[in-house]
Amino acid sequence: MWPINNGKERIHQSNKSKMLSQQEIKAIESWISRMWTYQFYKTSRQIASTASKTLKFKYKVIGNGLNRVVYDLNNGYILKIAISEVGLISNANESFIYNNCKKEVKKYLCPVKEYGTGWIIMKKADTKVSNLIKECTKLIKLELKFLRYGIIPIDLRLDNVGFTENNEMVVIDYGLFTMNLISPVLRWLVR
């Protein structure tokens, strides 16, 4: 659906990046090493704010959830930084699922460009939902497609989808999906 590196899918799984500077990687590593200290006495919004202040990125924060803060890299990609252990697992899981699922469902997942400890870079998708009833029908059909190909779409909802340039629905947050018994989410749950 979206070309990655001129059609070749290459995913970085180390803390090396072609899109982030070494200074930005070091800032993320520093944040990840300290984020545990904030988990017990702050809300996710407070942790996301603390993360943004700590990272001091030039990028605009375009959202945050309970587990990650999202930056717009202003080049057609977004950066998700973990703010909790579940955020770390969600980043790993998105990379794992995107790189290991069948091509029949891959086109419904927001492409992963790079992945490292505590961060993931994905293609930016339009998150505006237009006709709600039509989109709910698409969402149900999408859920059935994932199930058909062995992916359990935990937390699939309209807030977690976006649209391509061709107005095709893609999942932008599939960090809690599970594909098989070696999925990072399942390994975390059964530990």
- pLDDT at residue 87, as a whole number: 94
What pLDDT does residue 4 have?
35
Residue 14 pLDDT > 90, yes or no? no
Closest C-alpha among 125, 129, 114 to residue 171:
125
User: Which residues on neighbouring strands pair with residue 162, listed in sequence order?
Assistant: 170
Fold of 22-123: Phosphorylase Kinase; domain 1 (3.30.200)
User: According to CATH, what is the number of the domain 132-189?
Assistant: 1.10.510.10
Confidence of residue 182 (pLDDT cuts 50, 70, 90): low
Average of pLDDT values for 81-104? 94
Q: Taking the model in full, what pTM does it have?
A: 0.78
Please state the domain extents for the chain.
22-123, 132-189
| Structure confidence by residue, pLDDT tens digits, 108-145 | 999 999 999 999 999 998 877 566 667 788 899 999 99
Tokens 């989109």 sit on residue: 135
Of the two residues 46 and 10, the one the predictor is more confident about is 46
Supply angle C-alpha 162, 88, 41, rounded to 5.
Answer: 105
Q: What is the DSSP letter of 110?
A: P
Rounded to an integer, the average pLDDT of 68-84 is: 96
Is residue 24's pLDDT more than 90? yes
More confident call, 7 vs 106: 106
Of the ranges 80-89, 123-132, 159-168, which one carries the lowest mean pLDDT score?
123-132
Distances (CA, A) of 110 to 44, 81, 92: 24, 16, 14
Q: Is 176 helix (H, G, I), strand (E, B) or coil?
A: coil
